[in-house]
Amino acid sequence: MSELEALRERLREFAAARDWEQYHSPKNLASALIVEAAELLEHFQWLTQQQSRALPPEKLREVEEEIADVLLYLVRLADLLGIDPIDAAHRKIARNEEKYPAHLVRGSADKR
Amino acid sequence: MSELEALRERLREFAAARDWEQYHSPKNLASALIVEAAELLEHFQWLTQQQSRALPPEKLREVEEEIADVLLYLVRLADLLGIDPIDAAHRKIARNEEKYPAHLVRGSADKR
Amino acid sequence: MSELEALRERLREFAAARDWEQYHSPKNLASALIVEAAELLEHFQWLTQQQSRALPPEKLREVEEEIADVLLYLVRLADLLGIDPIDAAHRKIARNEEKYPAHLVRGSADKR
Amino acid sequence: MSELEALRERLREFAAARDWEQYHSPKNLASALIVEAAELLEHFQWLTQQQSRALPPEKLREVEEEIADVLLYLVRLADLLGIDPIDAAHRKIARNEEKYPAHLVRGSADKR
């Protein structure tokens, strides 16, 4: 079992033990995911880009927890929809590699 | 190498080949991540919860692509911050298992 | 002075008195705005649509505060960019009235 | 009638003429609002703060349209909940004026 499959299983048991599957519609989970993505962004909103590259340890631990929350909702949502996120991600990078050929877009700020 | 590490490596090469590391500050990546999370949510915003559980195939493929985008930015952001998302996620579930004991919160709508 | 102009002036004074203009780049304000939009959405994320139409008074007061936060950042961002949000909104409705003729889209779930 | 009330009325008519009130639950509108907030943020996500203060005219017109979209969903949502956004905003600034006394927080990056 891969590492995302292990998370998926643990989340299934977590929801089942609490009878929370009823709340876990894809619609609700997509909302919960963006709420966590905002809690992640909140840590960076007033920082300079430089500061965002050098977070103090306490801040880093908080950011880590928000990254965890986003990943958990992402895995749960993908599970409900029958999507394999790793496969999907590799296919998406492959598309981006074609769409943005390195020799054409090198250093350009238009898309990255 | 685990599956997220493989994605991480592929994203490093992708950014390096295009000289895009300069744009990939954690601040910018956290913004890009929430923008993708919104594109994901957009597919569900006018659906009933019932409809969100039964997407037609074409819609599902679009949702899959947005899930991929969120995962890619999440992996890239975690990489820049030196965070292991899988470890962080398991620690977060463990905290939630303690915080929401199954026998106390069973079926409750207050938190899920 | 219109009601949004009055808010705009009050926000200018608020930022100037605290020397916070330095943080109020459009980039930062657009992040702050979406973070508040997420705090607004958070109140609704596990509710049914029915429940979201009948919030208890305490919840309604919290939602009201988040609506205020979104409006404040929107007014501040528009000010920094020299945009009149009311004019822009009327022009946008006009475009939508043309784009979605009532007799063609009546009751359709595709766009609303 | 104030300027936000005028928008509110125009949006009521717009929704009624298209029989779209059925989709306009507060839950759905809070999702639609954050999706527009993300389209706004997208314009800034790879810019430096400096660049975000000096948008080229074409970009500025696109940003203006996203600001309009956020305002429209905000007015519509507030209407459905019976909230007066202008009143709420003034009350929120008053709270912030107390919470962040100018002489204590002047120039501080902790909160702004």
The pLDDT tens digits for A31-78 are: 999 999 999 999 999 999 999 999 999 999 999 999 999 999 999 999
The Cα-based distances of B34 to A47, A80, D24 in angstroms read 17, 21, 23
pLDDT in tens, A36-46: 999 999 999 99
Q: Diameter of chain A by CA atoms? A: 52
Residue D36 has pLDDT above 80, yes or no: yes
Q: What is the ipTM score, two decimals?
A: 0.96
Provide the residue type at A28 as one letter. N
Say how far apart CA B74 and CA D3 lie, in whole Å. 41
| Residue ranges for chain B with pLDDT beneath 50 | none
Question: Tokens at residue C64, please?
Answer: 């009201």
Say how far apart CA C92 and CA C50 lie, in whole Å. 29
C32 in contact with A, Cβ within 8 Å: yes
The backbone region for C2, taken as left when phi is positive above 0, alpha when psi lies in -120 to 50, beta otherwise, is beta
Q: What is the sign of the dihedral through the CA atoms of C10, C93, C27 and B31?
A: positive
Superfamily for B3-105?
Answer: MazG-like (1.10.287.1080)
> Taking all residues of chain C, what is their mean pLDDT, rounded to a whole number?
95
pLDDT of residue B108: 79
Say how far apart CA A39 and CA A62 lie, in whole Å. 10
pLDDT band at A108 (very low <50, low <70, confident <90, very high): confident
Say how far apart CA C40 and CA C67 lie, in whole Å. 7
> Which of D 3-22 lie inside 8 A of C, CB atoms?
3-4, 7, 10-11, 14-15, 17-20, 22
Rg (CA), chain A: 17
Nearest CA in chain A to D51: A109
Answer whether A26's CB lies under 8 Å from B53's CB: yes
Which of chain A's residues have a Cβ under 8 Å away from the Cβ of B18?
Answer: 100, 102, 105-107, 112
> Taking all residues of chain A, what is their mean pLDDT, rounded to a whole number?
95
Question: Tokens at residue B27, please?
Answer: 């601040």
Q: Least CB-CB distance to C18: which of D11, D90, D100? A: D100
Answer whether A54's CB lies under 8 Å from A27's CB: no
Kindly list the partner chains of chain A, i.e. chains with 3 or more CB atom pairs below 8 Å: B, C, D
CA terminus-to-terminus distance, chain C: 33
Say how far apart CA C94 and CA D72 lie, in whole Å. 12
> Which of C 91-110 lie inside 8 A of B, CB atoms?
109
> If you average pLDDT over residues C26-34, what whole number do you get?
98
Which of chain D's residues have a Cβ under 8 Å away from the Cβ of A46?
Answer: 109, 112
How near does any CA of chain B get to the CA of A26, in Å? 6
Residue A24 has pLDDT above 60, yes or no: yes
Which of chain C's residues have a Cβ under 8 Å away from the Cβ of D60?
Answer: 81, 83
Element (H, E) at A95: helix A85-99
> Do D102 and C18 lie within an 8 Å CB cutoff?
yes
> If you average pLDDT over residues C87-99, what whole number do you get?
97
Select from A46, A47, A55, A108 the residue whose CB has the most chain D CBs within 10 Å, as the one to mutate to test that interface.
A46
Select from A31, A49, A51 the residue whose CB has the most chain C CBs within 10 Å, as the one to mutate to test that interface.
A31
Which of chain C's residues have a Cβ under 8 Å away from the Cβ of D33?
Answer: 37, 40-41, 70
Residue C112 has pLDDT above 60, yes or no: no
pLDDT of residue D111: 56
How near does any CA of chain C get to the CA of A13, in Å? 19
pLDDT of residue A109: 63
> Do C44 and A31 lie within an 8 Å CB cutoff?
yes
> If you average pLDDT over residues D31-58, what whole number do you get?
97
pLDDT band at A110 (very low <50, low <70, confident <90, very high): low
Could you tell me which CATH number the domain at A3-83 has?
1.10.287.1080
Quick one: which of B33, C110, A19 has its CA closest to D19? C110
Select from D23, D27, D42 the residue whose CB has the most chain B CBs within 10 Å, as the one to mutate to test that interface.
D42
| Structural domain C3-84, CATH architecture | Orthogonal Bundle (1.10)
Domains of chain B, by residue range, sit at 3-105
Kindly list the partner chains of chain B, i.e. chains with 3 or more CB atom pairs below 8 Å: A, C, D
pLDDT of residue B101: 94
pLDDT band at D40 (very low <50, low <70, confident <90, very high): very high
Model-level pTM?
A: 0.96
Answer whether A16's CB lies under 8 Å from B105's CB: no
How near does any CA of chain B get to the CA of A110, in Å? 10
Residue A111 has pLDDT above 80, yes or no: no
Which of chain B's residues have a Cβ under 8 Å away from the Cβ of D50?
Answer: none
Say how far apart CA C94 and CA C88 lie, in whole Å. 10
pLDDT of residue B110: 64
